[in-house]
Structure formats: C-alpha cells, structure tokens
Amino acid sequence: MVGAVLWYLFLKPSDYIVRFKAKTFPGEINQRLKRWARDLNNSEKIQQDGDLLHLTQTMKFGDSTHIYNWEIEPLTDSTSRVIVAIRDEAHSLKNKLTVPFSNTDFKKRSESTVMEFMEDLDEHLDKFKVRIIGEEEIPTKYIAYIPIKTTQLHKTDEMMRNFSYLMGTLLDNGVEFDGFPVIEITDWNQENDSIHFNFGRPIIRSEKLPIGTEIEYKRIFRKRALKAEYNGNYITSDRAWYALMDYAKKHNIEVENTPLEVFHDNPMNEGNQLKWTAEIYLPIKESDE
C-alpha cells in the first residue's frame, strides 16, 4: 500500500488523464492535432515521439507549464481511442493530492483544453471523406513536372504557386495534356511531416516540349498499388495516405510510403469541397522472387 502511494505521488508521470473516442483513424488525429496546436498562442510545436501514435505538447497557462502526452490507439478501421496524460511540472505533487477529491482549476483546464481539440476534430471530420477501393494499378504516364520540397501542410500552397508557370509554359509551347494533374511523393518523413514530391501533368511526348526551363520530364511506370478515393479540400488529401497505410497493415500488405495523387477538380471552379475528388495510390512493394 505504501509503495503504491509513493508511486502515485512521486513516480507516476501524469497528474491527470483524459480519455475520449474519435470516429476516425490515427493519421487524421495526428495531423489535426498538429494543425490545432499550431494555431494556439500558448502551445509550442508538437513533438512526435517515434511514431504517429505518440505526441508531446507543451502549453503555457499563465506562469504554469503543462505537458500533454497524447497517445492514439486504433480500435477499428474508423475509430480510435485517445489517451491524454497531463502534467503540471511545477505543481505536480499538489495536483496529485487534490485532483482525486475536488474539481480543481488544473483539472477543469485540462478537460476544457482536450474538449477544444475534440470539437475541432469533429468539425473537420465533416469536411472530407476517404473510401478505400482496394488493389489496382497505377497507370503508366509520361509527365512534365516540377520537383518540390515542403511539408504536408504546405503541399497545396506549393502546387498553387507553381501551377500557372507549369501549365502556362506547357500550353504556350503547344504541349498536349494526357490526364489530370498529379503529385508523386518521392520522400516522406513521417517524423517531421516533410515531403519531396513531383508536381506535374501527364502529357503526350513530342518535340514541342520546352527545354531549358524549370520543368523536367519522366515516365511513371505501371505498378500495383492500393487505391483510395478522397473527397474534400486537397489540403488534407494526405489523410488518404494514412488510411491506406492502416489498410495495408491490417491486410499484411507491404507498401512503399510514396503516395501518388491524381486531382480531378479545379478548386477555382467548384465551391463545394466535398465534390472535389482525388485518386490516391500507395504503391505495393514488389516481391524479390
């Protein structure tokens, strides 16, 4: 008994724990949490602890520093449990003595902070859809593209910044298009959300291709892949990447973390974001046999 009390008071890493269930997959919670924290004035940048299921957030409330350790536990294909272990570094012992017996300011603040994120998450879940289609093939295409390095959050910013130059240069030279705009992820760091990708447009190869510009050319070869359909703002089309990874893990399919996206709609022409459609492919690793 004495040992348990000593552990609770001096060794237990958290002062209070908040739990909730979310009707979505871990990747959406991970990315939404980072975005939510980024918009707060009192939160430092969230640190991801080894995988997308564990994150640490430092928040300031007056002269107090609170540490939020977020743990995401997948339950089903479409539900997760989130466990938030919270600690006030300067008043930990006091909290452990008072939280079990009264509704302290620390306890109320912890609950309200987690509730704010829950509401933000629920609101965003109404703004996109991901539907897993299953195994298909990435079609072979010859593309004109611009290589880009950025983060997942700024993916569409870079696409928009380069769109006019890429499309305008191709049109000015009489290049014939052969499909919708695409991005081909070539490197994805899931620890810090940085990505390298080729933003391009499938074209008909010809002698009209502009040379000596920022535009490069390559062929995307036919390849087996898992496919999903995404509807929503293209800023968060990466949610389909995570859904496909979860599907691959559940079905013991080895995949390459280099998604390919095909964008069917021009956001300037369609106001209802849920009507925006993108095909998302996650390549399947080829057997060594």
Domains and CATH numbers, the chain: 2-126 (3.30.530), 131-283 (3.20.80.10)
- pLDDT value for 11: 36
Q: Are 79 and 24 in contact (CB under 8 A)?
A: yes
pLDDT at 206 (0 to 100) = 94
**pLDDT value of position 287:** 77
Quote the pLDDT of residue 16: 87
For position 135, what pLDDT does the model report? 97
Residue 93's pLDDT is what? 52
| pLDDT at residue 2, rounded to an integer | 34
Would you give per-residue pLDDT tens digits along the chain (289 residues)?
Answer: 433 333 333 334 478 899 999 999 999 999 999 999 999 999 999 999 889 999 999 999 988 899 999 999 999 989 999 999 999 876 555 666 666 656 788 889 899 999 999 999 999 999 999 999 999 999 999 999 999 999 999 999 999 999 999 999 999 999 999 999 999 999 999 999 999 999 999 999 999 999 999 999 999 999 999 999 999 999 999 999 999 999 999 999 999 999 999 999 987 776 789 999 999 999 999 876 5
pLDDT for 286: 87
pTM of the model: 0.90
CA-nearest of 22, 30, 75, 82 to 52 is 30
